[in-house]
Amino acid sequence: MNKDPKMNGKMPPPPNGKPPMPGTPGGKPGDKKEMTADELRAIMKKNGTQQRGPGGPMIREKPKDAKGTLLKLIKYIGRSKYLVLAVVGTTILSTFLNLLGPNLQGRAIDAITVTAGKPSVDFDELIRVLMLMLLVYLGSAAIQMIQGIASAKITQTTVYTMRSDLFRKISFLPIRYTDTHAHGDIMSRMTNDVDNISMTLSSSISSLISAVLTLIGAFSMLIFYDWRMAIISLVTIPLTIIVSTNLSKFMRKYFVEKQVLLGQLNAQVEEMVTGYKTVMAYGKEPDACEEFARVSEEFRKCSIRANVWGGLMGPANNIINNLNYLIVAATGAYFTATGAISVGDIQAILQYSRQLSMPINQIANQYASILTAIAGAERVFTILDTPDELDEGKSDMKVEDIRGDIEFTGINFSYNPGKQVLHDFNLKVKQGQKIALVGATGSGKTTVVNLLTRFYDVDSGEIRIDGVNINDIPKKTLRSAIAIVLQDTVLFHDTIGANIRYGKLDATDEEIRKAAATSESDEFIERLPDGYETILAEGGSNLSQGQRQLLSISRAVLADPKILILDEATSSVDTRTEMHIQQAMVALMKNRTSLIIAHRLSTIRDADIIIVMKDGTVMEAGNHDELLAQKGVYYGLYQNQFAGIET
């Protein structure tokens, strides 16, 4: 997100002038519409949600471009090519040693023979084979440890690189992108989707290679011992695939429904905690408890069904595997009785038949995990493939060169096609002038600011600063010359001093104190136990709204801008504090071009020019006395506000 220090880390409001709605249902507890299980399933089917249920399969979200996404993901993994080669090499060695185990077990058994009813043991052969088995198992364990370390490094390096690239991309995305995409969804891609990729990489790379090699190797060894036994070992494989596939499809709906209900529970708890005062104020505690109990009961029933059906996968596969073992053992016993194969051989064949069925289930599970990871990676790459914010500014203008003359000429603009916000907007501001923009919500006041700072570009017309089209001024230069104080402040979980310093990162402690004094915030800061070293809670929640606003103004003071924009900067403070701020603002705005957006008309009485806007056009322009004398739109707004009627 293109956070400019002068913006206090705050994004401009969305086109409709309303803040983005949270991802949780709105309204009072008890007002939510009940959702049936079929509706839940339909929603999840539409959204392609994926989850893993206890004992059940991974619920898959199929990617749209699996091949393209997989190639991009492989490029990320390929940055650790030597580690990848190490994993492949150790996996091959580990698989070979695991395949060697049953052969050695068969040879150990064949070292013990029975002749004329008397056992005979070839101790030299037995000891030699047992020593080989010990070396094989120790070597396999050591190789798997090396493989695990290499695999972990690949996973974490890939995830680290991907998260770094994603964070950088988000930092330079156009404002339009963040305005038109849910912030929670963007955060989910950074966390949940990347975590999905991480978990799949950590478990799938070596497991998938090992499963394929084991499958090939086990079948080859079965053919080596007896081709008839190899074919018999394959008899139950189709049954395993059919049962696993159908059970996965059947269980999917229950795990999907369970996750939706869990989401509803989490949303309701979050709603209750964040809106606790409202719930209590309206006496809605019983309704909230009743609603929670209803969803919780649905979740309990659904969880039972999901876990019961999810628990069938293991027993079903065990039955099939045991059936396979029985068939192979019975057939092997017959061949042993006829002298076709030895007892040691049948022992090895039984082990290889086990190894043959196990990778098939493993590959099926890994396939589901890989699909999920690719779907998550696709969401991540969707952001990574989004072009950065364009900056075609070629002018060599420096911040110190900017005086502050602003001119809007014939501006037409719309956030969405067909819904024009500004219509032939014209405005000329001279250096050092104080211009106020007033009008009803949605009249286009904040849009003027968005266009001046180039968070959005005009559809037609020109905006010039000191005679230079702002499209020719590098955005960094343009925004560094502008400081904006917004109605809704953004404070970080850091000290008060660090939050003020956000306006000028190289500011000294003395400069911070002077800025705080100018904004009248030094008084309440010095009353705090730790003063400027006081740690703010998330969002500055341990301060009042007015105190947070004062800190925001301190940032703007510290930034010492050429152009100052105040967007309802005093709307959250009391009248007495507002008077102090107005006195500070007089000094701050001296010799600076200032644009003030305000609903409190008392704060703009001394503006050089007041622009009255309605439906994206300029209805009236003049100073306070001139507009009152006209008895037009401004006069009506002033009379309504003077009478205490909200406008």
Per residue in 616-634, pLDDT (tens digit) is 888 889 988 888 898 888 8
- Cα of first residue to Cα of last residue in the chain, in angstroms, is 33
What mean pLDDT comes out for the span 86-105?
80
Per-residue pLDDT at 569: 67
- Taking the CB of residue 227, how many other CB atoms lie within 10 A of it? 10
Sign of CA dihedral 280, 282, 286, 290: negative
Q: Is 489 exposed, middle or buried (0-12, 13-18, 19+ CB in 10 A)?
A: buried
CB 41 within 8 A of CB 49: no
Max CA separation in the chain (angstroms): 128
193 vs 149, higher pLDDT: 149
Q: Are strands 563-567 and 593-597 parallel, antiparallel or unpaired?
A: parallel
Count Cα atoms within 13 angstroms, Cβ side, for 337: 6
Tell me which amino acid residue 108 is.
Answer: A
Look at residue 403 and tell me whether its pLDDT is greater than 90. no
Matching residue, tokens 């299980």: 37
Alpha-carbon distance of 462 to 469, in angstroms, equals 7
Residue 8 clears pLDDT 80, i.e. is over it: no
HEC readout, 166-186:
HHHHHHCCCHHHHHHCCHHHH
Residue with tokens 């010492």: 560
Q: What is the average per-residue pLDDT within 579-604? A: 76
Distance CA 265, CA 511 (A): 49
509-539 exposure pattern, b = at least 16 Cβ within 10 A, e = fewer: eebbbbbbbbbbbbebbeeeeeebeeebeee
Q: Specify the pLDDT at position 58.
A: 39
Most confident of 89-93, 372-376, 472-476, 601-605: 472-476
Q: What pLDDT, on the 0 to 100 scale, is given for residue 16?
A: 37
Helix (H, G, I), strand (E, B) or coil at 7: helix
State residue 117's pLDDT score: 64
Reported as half-sphere exposure (CB side, CA atoms, 13 A), residue 432 has a value of 3
Q: Is 156 or 643 the better-scoring residue by pLDDT?
A: 156
User: 157 versus 318: which is more confidently predicted?
Assistant: 157
pLDDT for 412: 92
Distances (CA, A) of 490 to 80, 275, 512, 536: 39, 20, 18, 11
CA distance linking residue 23 with residue 17, whole number of Å: 18
Tell me: pLDDT of 645 over 50.
no
Has residue 365 got a pLDDT over 70? no
Does residue 211 register a pLDDT over 80? no
3-state SS, residue 639 = helix
User: Which amino acid, residue 555?
Assistant: R
User: Has residue 86 got a pLDDT over 50?
Assistant: yes
265: helix, strand or coil? helix
Nearest to 199 by CA among 156, 141, 238: 156
Residue type, 334: Y
CA triple 175-465-452, angle to 5 deg = 25
Per-residue confidence (pLDDT) for residue 570, from 0 to 100: 66
Given a cut of 80, whether residue 502 has pLDDT beyond it is yes
Q: What single-letter amino acid sits at 292?
A: F
In contact, 630 and 619? CB cutoff 8 Å: no
**Bridge partners, residue 411, by sequence:** 425
Whole-angstrom distance, CA of residue 199 vs CA of residue 186: 20
Predicted confidence at residue 574, as pLDDT, reads 66
Q: What is the mean pLDDT of residues 209-227?
A: 80
Task: Give the span between the Cα atoms of 388 and 404, in whole angstroms.
Answer: 28
Q: How many CA atoms lie within 13 A of 303 on its CB side?
A: 10
pLDDT at 181 over 50: yes
Least confident of 11-15, 537-541, 548-552: 11-15
- Using the predicted structure, report yes or no on whether residue 232 has a pLDDT greater than 50: yes
Surface-to-core class of residue 50, CB atoms within 10 Å of its CB (0-12 exposed, 13-18 middle, 19+ buried): buried
Q: Do residues 545 and 503 lie in contact, with contact meaning Cβ atoms separated by under 8 Å?
A: no
Query: Does residue 463 register a pLDDT over 90?
Result: yes
Predicted confidence band at 19 (pLDDT cuts at 50, 70, 90)? Answer: very low
Angle between helix 66-78 and helix 81-110 axes, rounded to 10 deg: 90
Per-residue pLDDT at 465: 92
Compute the distance between CA of residue 491 and CA of residue 501 in angstroms, rounded to an integer: 11
DSSP 408: E
Contact 556, 511 (CB under 8 A): no
Question: Other CB atoms closer than 10 Å to residue 121's CB: what's the count?
Answer: 10
Is residue 112 scored above 60 in pLDDT? yes
Q: Count helices and strands (H / E) in the chain.
A: 22, 12
Please compute Rg for the chain using Cα positions. Answer: 35
For the ranges 214-223, 292-301, 368-377, 425-434, the lowest mean pLDDT is seen at 368-377
Backbone angles phi, psi at 495, to 5 degrees: -75, 160
* 193 band by pLDDT with thresholds 50, 70 and 90: confident
SS3 563: strand
Residue pLDDT, tens place only, 421-455: 998 999 898 988 889 898 888 888 888 988 998 88
| % of the chain with per-residue pLDDT over 70 | 80
Give the separation between CA 11 and CA 13, rounded to whole angstroms.
Answer: 6
- Which residue in the block uniquely carries the two structure tokens 């029985």? 326
